[in-house]
Copies of this chain bind each other. A is one copy, B any other.
Amino acid sequence: MKVGVIGGGQLGRMLALAGTPLGMEFSFLDPAPDACAAPVGRHLCAAYDARAELQELAETMDVVTFEFENVPSEAVAYLAQHVPVFPNAESLRIARDRLCEKTMFCELDIPVTAFANIESQQQLEQAVTEVGLPAILKTRTMGYDGKGQKVLRSMDDVVGAHAALGGVPCLLEAFVDFAGEVSVIAVRGHSGEVVCYPLAHNTHEGGVLVLSVASENHPLQTLAEDYARRVLEHLDYVGALGFEFFEVDGGLMANEIAPRVHNSGHWTIEGAECSQFENHLRAIAGLPLGSTSLIGYSAMVNCIGRMPANAQLMSLKDTHVHHYGKVEKPGRKVGHVTLRSSGTGQLQQAVAAVQALVSKQ
């Protein structure tokens, strides 16, 4: 089976590493000459809307998928006319626009924080009086890893805030006083079959995920799965979906969805019977989904800016090293380390040891 992937970053790379043993062959469309998925597939080095390359994918692939959501909608529409595309265009459209996403959550009775659509500074000033402060102004599209966001703590911060984010359509969200952040990776197959991984408890720094710890029997697992199923079924979704939540008052409040494999699910490569990458591929290929059961106790530490030396990481207990093959650059996710231990105490020690190496940089 020939699989086309729009985007050739680390998610594409890990998809190919999971899918090659399944007999799949990968082609990546990515304008970056050093796309880090290139060593494990064919690299079409062109813009995401390059017609010749899209045509080639349309004509030669058995299925096309995405490793990021900000794909031009014309490209998706074109591909979908010629080849099965999963997840579908509607899922991408919703997931890449914070207003559409939040509106969908409301329609599906999934709790969200107060929000308002902002298309002008005047609208922002009005909305602040309704939503309250502190609040966060976010661009509706193209935001990731805390980019395209501005925290508004006082009316002083509101002055010129819309212009500071480029004057593009934005969403104002009331600050959530959360007890914790969790995410679920849910996968839906062609037949409607849904599997969910155990919740991950996530820690962000400066808007960037730094640590995910897989939970065992989390009290909010059932609720998270219920919310995820509502979204998957509503969108007639096929593939893996990352769904981030805030833990608030013993319940869950939806933060956002990502219509793809997700950073908070990287621990599944070693920590689950079948990884999120393999399950995404099984889903889009119409194959039976794999078990999401835990193997031991797992966590993932992101390596941001620089990878610690392999020799250091491998001299620690329970480590599994994942380089993305990227040039190191401050703030860039260049790899991750999975820790898989036989007990929670040992896992905590392993995480601390890896974090000490990561933070020394």
Contact = CB atoms under 8 A, between A and B. Distances in A.
Interface stretch (A52-60, A117-125, A317-325, A346-354): A317-325
Nearest to A334: B23
* Chain A facing B: main interface SS: mixed
Contacts of A16: 40
Interface string A270-285: 0001100000001001
Interface in A13-43: 13, 16-17, 20-23, 25-26, 39-41
Nearest to A24: B323
A222 interface: no
Please state the number of chain copies in the assembly.
2
Contacts of A325: 20, 23, 25
Interface stretch (A164-172, A255-263, A287-295): A287-295
Among A23, A286, A290, chain B packs the most CB atoms within 10 A around the CB of: A23
A295 B273 CA distance: 11
19 contacts: A16-B40, A17-B17, A17-B20, A20-B325, A21-B320, A21-B322, A21-B323, A22-B321, A23-B310, A23-B323, A25-B325, A39-B40, A39-B41, A40-B40, A282-B314, A285-B310, A287-B310, A290-B314, A295-B296
